[in-house]
Structure 1
Amino acid sequence: MTRRLLDSAETLSYDPVQEVDWDTPLDTDHHGASPEWSTLYGTPYWAEMTPEQQRELTRQEAASVASTGIWFEMILQQLMLRDFYGKDQTDPAFQWALTEIADECRHSIMFARGAAKLRAPAYRPRRLVLELGRLFKTIAYGESAYAAILVAEEVLDVMQRDWMRDERVAPFVRTINNIHVVEESRHMKFARAETKRRLAASGRLRRRISALGTSIAAYFIIDSMVSPSVYANAGLDVRRAVREAKANEHHKSMLRSSCAGLMEFLASAGLLTREATWFYRRANLV
């Protein structure tokens, strides 16, 4: 499989520096993401906002999602480097790991430039989550590492497939999303295969521990995707926006729908235990 992934990377990869229109000024008549994916879409607050405010909010939310993507891609790169450290360099799997890491570096730079073009600040997870991420990248291994990678990539994938097809979204953002979707499809195939392969050698206790660790990682990834600061930067009342976003059943439904395939895979792999399901429910993924 890894040889096929390497061949695919050689024939279907993009250079964001060349592919993305970085020079055209931001057109504020466009959204940064499909409005239906906004955390406030369908709420009374959304109905009160002007179209300009709605567009600005989706631009800030898209930048926050991109920033969260950068944070987890940095964790991902370290997990893979640690996993393949000292292994056979002639193995296609080793070479694929380095290819994926190179992809993630380019994606992170692309996301950073995209967020800057959206006129957004550097959104970061809160300090506790940053430190938990530091711990996770240090201790996660085997199936728990690859399953967590899969969770992060699958959630972004469904969102971005919607955004890249939506003509209301800024053209340069759609290009970024398209690049990420195409290249991440290979990463997800590898993560699924590695998760299954590592689980084949795991016992019942290890499987339950891995399931719990993956679900906790998923909770913090989803919880960090949209920073509360986006509401202030969109000129909204932060307290009201956070309150209505947390109660927004439409957004919760979008998240659950986006993760249906992922949850099916985790269940088939034995990683959807009762304890893990509690965290997935908290993250609105089931």
Structure 2
Amino acid sequence: MADTLGVTPREKVAQRLLGGSVKRSYDPVVDMDWDAPLDPDKFFLPAEVVSLYGTPMWQRMTHQQRQELSRQELANVLSVGIWFENILNRMLLRDLIDEDPTSKHAHYTLTEMGDECRHMVMFGRVIDRVGAKPYWPKGLDAVFVKALPFFLRRSMVWTGALLGEEIFDALQRRIMADPDLQPLVARLMRIHVTEEARHIRFAREAIARDADTLPAWERQYTRTLTAIAAPLFADMFTNRHMYARAGLDGREAKRQAMANPHFRQARQTGAAGLATFLDDAGLMGRLTKASWRRWGFLA
């Protein structure tokens, strides 16, 4: 519904976010110190959020082995971030076909896509700068990633955006000030958190506007795909190949990580705010909650 001046709530939100983008946006090519040396003793992710932290395997590892695992886990997380931001941009561009190109909503959508393109550049450069290689989907995983945009429609576009952004964002906010974190990684997280806050607001507002009027089939469809997201994320966060690159037994490391209460708590911390929001919007049915609890995203 438009106000007395004919401006819809959707346009008001987009206008505010456009103003925020003007005031606080970054170009990682110039806003990160790519020439600064890496600290030989610091971790690439804080120890307490590394998936094997506290496990028997972790207890046997040297400081150097733990540091290397944190490097590989960072590269894996950033690779997953690139996949999801690529998928999000494809969905946003697809939906712009039906938008009024003069609207603030369309303009902010394009602004967000620009942010995501710069984030993908930043993630790729950080992977390279820390001396790692990206993790790219293969086989059926590659087919799934490429097909995903065809299944994410209507409300699921925005729910998918939150799934791909908000869990990672919550973890970043928790760890980016850690004094034992590599400065380059801390800077990446500060930039990403600042710009993702606007993207999350955009997606949340879109879901909140339509939550009460979703047809039953769409609500159930979104709940089902959200339930499927839990094992997908759990598998990605415990990619056995990153353990192998760190010199560990990949299958045993994955088994210990999935059973690790510290890592489970980290997943729950990252997903807590999103789970509450989706539940309030009616998008967390019994199947979804059971799946999230089974895979460690809900207590």
CA contact (8 A) 2:230 2:297 kept: no
Q: Give the equivalent residue in structure 2 for 1:149.
A: 161
Q: Deviations over 1:186-225 (max 9, x none)?
A: 0000111111223343122321111111232343234213
Distance (Å, rounded) in 2 between the aligned partners of 1:35 and 1:177: 16
Q: Give the equivalent residue in structure 2 for 1:187.
A: 199
Larger displacement relative to structure 2 (248-257 or 18-27): 18-27
Residue 92 of structure 1 pairs with residue 109 of structure 2: no
Residues 4 and 14 of structure 1, relative CA distance in 2, 3 Å threshold = same
Q: Give the equivalent residue in structure 2 for 1:62.
A: 74
Residue 163 of structure 1 pairs with residue 171 of structure 2: no
Q: Give ranges in structure 2 of 5+ residues lacking alignment.
A: 1-12
Q: AA paired with 2:282? A: G
Q: Give the equivalent residue in structure 1 for 2:58.
A: 46
Distance (Å, rounded) in 1 between the aligned partners of 2:244 and 2:38: 20
Q: With structure 1 as the length reference, what TM-score do the two structures score? A: 0.95
Residues 156 and 30 of structure 1, relative CA distance in 2, 3 Å threshold = same
Q: AA paired with 2:68? A: E
CA contact (8 A) 2:33 2:184 kept: yes
Q: AA paired with 1:267? A: D
CA contact (8 A) 1:83 1:141 kept: no
Residue 8 of structure 1 pairs with residue 20 of structure 2: yes
CA contact (8 A) 2:50 2:70 kept: yes
Residues 126 and 277 of structure 1, relative CA distance in 2, 3 Å threshold = farther
Residue 253 of structure 1 pairs with residue 271 of structure 2: no
Q: Deviations over 1:132-180 (max 9, x none)?
A: 2222202311111101110221111112112310111110010001000
Larger displacement relative to structure 2 (35-44 or 84-93): 84-93
User: How far did 1:126 drift?
Assistant: 4.2
Distance (Å, rounded) in 2 between the aligned partners of 1:62 and 1:125: 16
* % identity of equivalent residues: 39
- RMSD of aligned C-alpha atoms? 1.5
Q: Give the equivalent residue in structure 2 for 1:80.
A: 92
Give runs of ≥4 in structure 1 deviating > 6 Å: none
Q: Give the equivalent residue in structure 1 for 2:150.
A: 138
Residue aligned with 2:51, SS: coil
Q: Give the equivalent residue in structure 2 for 1:202.
A: 214
Larger displacement relative to structure 2 (64-73 or 216-225): 216-225
Q: Give the equivalent residue in structure 2 for 1:227.
A: 239
Residues 69 and 37 of structure 1, relative CA distance in 2, 3 Å threshold = same
CA contact (8 A) 1:142 1:195 kept: no
CA contact (8 A) 2:239 2:254 kept: no
Q: Give the equivalent residue in structure 1 for 2:297.
A: 285
Q: Give ranges in structure 1 of 5+ residues lacking alignment.
A: none
CA contact (8 A) 1:143 1:210 kept: yes
Q: Give the equivalent residue in structure 1 for 2:283.
A: 271
Q: With structure 2 as the length reference, what TM-score do the two structures score? A: 0.91
Q: Deviations over 1:12-36 (max 9, x none)?
A: 0111111211112333311111111
